[in-house]
Structure 1
Amino acid sequence: MSTGDGRRATSEGRATDRASFRAVFAVREFRPLFGTYTLSTIGDELARVALTVLVYQRTDSPLLSAFTFALGFLPWALGGPVLATVADRFPRHRVLITSDVVRAVLVAGMAVPGTPLPLLLVLLFLVALCAPPFESARSALMADVLEGERYAVATSLTNVSLQVAQVVGFLAAGGLVTVLDPSVVLLVNAATFAVSAVWLTLGLQRRPAPTEELAAPSSVWREAGEGLRLIGGSPRLVAIIALLWVGTLFANAAEGIAAPLTDELGERAVQVGVLLAANPLGVTVGGLVVARFLGTARSDRLMPVLVGLSLAPVLLAGLVAVTAGPGRGAFAVVVGLMFVAGLGASWTIPLNVAFVQAVPPAYRGRAFGVAVSGLYGIQGVGALAAGLAAEGLSPSAVVALTGGIGLVAVVPPLLAYGRTRTLVAGDRPAAGPSVS
Structure 2
Amino acid sequence: MREFRPLAGSYLLSTIGDELARVALTVLVYQRTSSPLLSAITFAISYLPWLVGGPLLSTLADRLPRHRVLIATDVVRALLVAGMAIPGTPLGVLLALLLLVALCAPPFESARSALMADVLDGDRYAVATSLTNIGSQVAQMTGFLLGGILVALLSPSAVLLLDAATFVASACWLRARLQPRPAPDDGQDGATRSVWRGTGEGLRLIARAPRLRAIIALTWVGTLFANAPEGIVAPFVDGLGEGATQVGLLLAANPLGVTIGGLLVARTITQDRRERLVPALVLLSLVPVVAAGLVAAWAGPGRGVYAVVVALTFVAGLGAAWVIPLNVAFVQAVPAAYRGRAFGVAASGLYGVQGLGVLVAGLAAEGLPAAGVWALLGAVGVVAVVPPLLAYRRTQGHVAAGAGPAGRSVS
- Tell me the TM-score normalized by structure 1: 0.90
The residue type paired with residue 232 of structure 2 is I
Task: Find the counterpart in structure 2 of residue 225 from structure 1.
Answer: 200
CA shift for structure 1 position 422: 1.3
2:114 aligned with 1:140, yes or no?
yes
CA shift for structure 1 position 213: 9.8
The residue type paired with residue 388 of structure 2 is P
The residue type paired with residue 234 of structure 2 is A
- Pick from 376, 381, 384: which aligns with 2:351? 376
> How has the CA–CA distance of structure 1 residues 224 and 325 changed in structure 2, closer, same or farther, with 3 Å as cutoff?
same
The residue type paired with residue 199 of structure 1 is W
- Pick from 36, 40, 48: which aligns with 1:62? 36
2:297 aligned with 1:322, yes or no?
yes
| Mapped contact 2:71–2:175 kept (Cα < 8 A) | yes
| Mapped contact 2:51–2:351 kept (Cα < 8 A) | yes
| Mapped contact 1:357–1:426 kept (Cα < 8 A) | no
Q: Indicate the percent of aligned positions where both proteins have the same amino acid.
A: 72
- Pick from 324, 329, 334: which aligns with 1:359? 334
Task: Find the counterpart in structure 2 of residue 33 from structure 1.
Answer: 7
Task: Find the counterpart in structure 2 of residue 392 from structure 1.
Answer: 367
Residues 231-259 of structure 1 deviation map (CA, whole Å, 9 limit, x = unaligned): 11111100000000000000000000010
2:66 aligned with 1:92, yes or no?
yes
Alpha-carbon distance between aligned partners in 2 of 1:128 and 1:226, rounded to the nearest angstrom: 26
- Structure 1 unaligned residues grouped into runs of 5+: 1-26, 428-436
| Mapped contact 1:290–1:296 kept (Cα < 8 A) | no
Task: Find the counterpart in structure 2 of residue 83 from structure 1.
Answer: 57
- Structure 2 unaligned residues grouped into runs of 5+: 403-411
Task: Find the counterpart in structure 2 of residue 154 from structure 1.
Answer: 128
User: Cα RMSD between the aligned structures?
Assistant: 1.4
The residue type paired with residue 84 of structure 2 is M
The residue type paired with residue 324 of structure 1 is A
Alpha-carbon distance between aligned partners in 1 of 2:177 and 2:119, rounded to the nearest angstrom: 12
Alpha-carbon distance between aligned partners in 1 of 2:266 and 2:397, rounded to the nearest angstrom: 23
Alpha-carbon distance between aligned partners in 1 of 2:190 and 2:91, rounded to the nearest angstrom: 45
Task: Find the counterpart in structure 1 of residue 235 from structure 2.
Answer: 260
Task: Find the counterpart in structure 2 of residue 431 from structure 1.
Answer: none
2:141 aligned with 1:167, yes or no?
yes
- Pick from 227, 230, 234: which aligns with 2:209? 234
- Tell me the TM-score normalized by structure 2: 0.96
Alpha-carbon distance between aligned partners in 2 of 1:217 and 1:147, rounded to the nearest angstrom: 26
2:75 aligned with 1:101, yes or no?
yes
- Pick from 207, 230, 254: which aligns with 1:279? 254
| Mapped contact 2:211–2:400 kept (Cα < 8 A) | no
Mean alpha-carbon deviation: is it higher for 299-308 or for 209-218?
Answer: 209-218
- Pick from 284, 289, 307: which aligns with 1:309? 284
Alpha-carbon distance between aligned partners in 2 of 1:325 and 1:303, rounded to the nearest angstrom: 33
- Pick from 203, 220, 229: which aligns with 2:177? 203
CA shift for structure 1 position 369: 0.6
Give the secondary-structure state (helix, strand or coil) at the position aligned to 1:108: helix
Residues 265-316 of structure 1 deviation map (CA, whole Å, 9 limit, x = unaligned): 0101110000100100000000000011123221111111000000000000
Give the secondary-structure state (helix, strand or coil) at the position aligned to 1:267: coil
Give structure 1 regions of 4+ aligned residues with deviation exceeding 3 angstroms: 212-216
2:171 aligned with 1:187, yes or no?
no
Query: How many residue pairs end up in the alignment?
Result: 401
| Mapped contact 2:144–2:248 kept (Cα < 8 A) | yes
Residues 23-73 of structure 1 deviation map (CA, whole Å, 9 limit, x = unaligned): xxxx11100001000100000000000000000000000000000000000
CA shift for structure 1 position 424: 2.1
